[in-house]
């Protein structure tokens, strides 16, 4: 595989069984993401974009087909191996933020480092640096319910970066934000791409948000389609 390709989905199918009925979410999806690229995946509800994100992020394995991360086929790995890969290689930013309500901003950001056996002193130092980077250095001890939606999403961005991942996956990162907070989040993503040279894959249904990416691919019925004629 080309060393410039960091992620490759090769004829990926994902079929869910609902009783006696089989429901295909992905239908032979082929996708390549280059190292250092900013890709937006667009699609309406039911298009398969969340399932595609789960494949790219090692959160699930395909029913058929293969998924490569940095030349390694991860499509048949056990969950324990997938969890290690996720922790080391991939940072996640979710629409729902997924912060732990009982933990402070600092503790939420530092949490993924615990699973990589990083010493506490280093965890605190790194978390503080990242919260400073997203302009939340004065909110270290605040819990999620003491932060606005935009601030919570910036905590989530800081958390996604703690293990210095190769790839950042952003699933509708502005979906629960007002326009001002949404623009700030997009600016941070663009900065991560330009200044930190991160590979970013973003799922969105918002064409204005997608425009900040280098490349836009459209999903329809679990496949990449050209143009917008299916929408």
DSSP state of 162: T
Across 74-101, average pLDDT: 88
Across 15-31, average pLDDT: 93
Distance CA 107, CA 117 (A): 15
Q: Which pLDDT score is estimated for 230?
A: 45
DSSP state of 38: E
Chain segment 149-201, per-residue pLDDT in tens: 999 999 999 999 999 998 999 999 998 888 898 899 899 899 999 998 999 99
Q: Which contiguous run of DSSP H or E holds residue 30? A: strand 21-34
Q: What is the mean pLDDT of the chain?
A: 91
**Which among 182, 19, 180 has a CA at the least distance from the CA of 95?**
182
- pLDDT band at residue 116, thresholds of 50, 70 and 90? confident
For 64, phi then psi, to 5°, come to -140, 160
Share of the chain above pLDDT 90, in %: 67
Q: Which contiguous run of DSSP H or E holds residue 215? A: strand 215-220
Across 46-62, average pLDDT: 90
Q: Which residues pair with 67 in a beta bridge?
A: 9
- pLDDT band at residue 10, thresholds of 50, 70 and 90? very high
Please name the residues in contact with 91: beta carbons below 8 A apart, sequence gap of 6 or more: 159, 160, 161, 162, 163, 165, 167, 168, 169
Q: Which contiguous run of DSSP H or E holds residue 208? A: helix 207-210
CB 16 within 8 A of CB 23: yes
CB 215 within 8 A of CB 193: no
Distance CA 150, CA 43 (A): 24
Higher pLDDT, 193 or 2: 193
Distance CA 140, CA 143 (A): 8
Q: Which pLDDT score is estimated for 228?
A: 55
- pLDDT band at residue 81, thresholds of 50, 70 and 90? confident
- Residue 117 pLDDT more than 60? yes
Distance CA 213, CA 211 (A): 5
Q: Which pLDDT score is estimated for 59?
A: 87
Across 216-231, average pLDDT: 79
- pLDDT band at residue 46, thresholds of 50, 70 and 90? confident
pTM over 0.75: yes
Share of the chain above pLDDT 70, in %: 97
- pLDDT band at residue 44, thresholds of 50, 70 and 90? confident
In this structure, which topology does domain 36-61+77-225 adopt according to CATH? Answer: Rossmann fold (3.40.50)
CA geometry: angle 224, 153, 165, nearest 5 deg: 65
Q: Which pLDDT score is estimated for 67?
A: 93
- pLDDT band at residue 22, thresholds of 50, 70 and 90? very high
Token representation of residue 138: 């004065």
- pLDDT band at residue 227, thresholds of 50, 70 and 90? low
- Residue 115 pLDDT more than 90? no
On the CB side of 145, CA atoms within 13 Å amount to: 3
Beta strands in 51-114, from DSSP E residues, in sequence order: 64-69, 72-73, 90-94
Only one residue has tokens 């699609």, namely 43
């Amino acid at each position: 595989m080309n060393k410039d390709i960091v992620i490759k989905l090769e004829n990926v199918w994902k079929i869910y069984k609902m009783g006696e009925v089989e429901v295909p979410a992905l239908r032979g999806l082929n996708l390549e993401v280059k190292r250092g690229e900013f890709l937006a995946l667009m699609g309406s509800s039911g298009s398969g974009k969340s399932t595609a994100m789960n494949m790219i992020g090692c959160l699930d394995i395909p029913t058929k087909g293969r998924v490569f991360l940095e030349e390694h086929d991860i499509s048949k790995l056990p969950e324990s191996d997938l969890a290690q890969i996720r922790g080391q290689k991939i940072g996640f930013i979710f629409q729902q933020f997924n912060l732990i309500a009982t933990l402070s901003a600092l503790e939420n950001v530092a949490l993924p480092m615990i699973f990589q056996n990083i010493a506490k002193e280093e965890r605190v130092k790194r978390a503080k640096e990242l919260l400073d980077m997203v302009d939340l250095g004065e909110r270290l001890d605040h819990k999620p319910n003491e932060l606005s939606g935009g601030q919570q999403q910036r905590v989530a961005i800081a958390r996604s970066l703690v293990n210095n991942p190769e790839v950042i996956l952003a699933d509708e990162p502005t979906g629960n934000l007002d326009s001002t907070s949404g623009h700030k989040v997009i600016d941070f993503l663009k900065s991560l791409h330009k200044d930190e040279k991160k590979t970013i894959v973003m799922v969105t249904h918002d064409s204005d948000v997608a425009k900040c990416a280098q490349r836009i691919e459209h999903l329809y019925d679990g496949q990449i389609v050209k143009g917008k004629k299916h929408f």
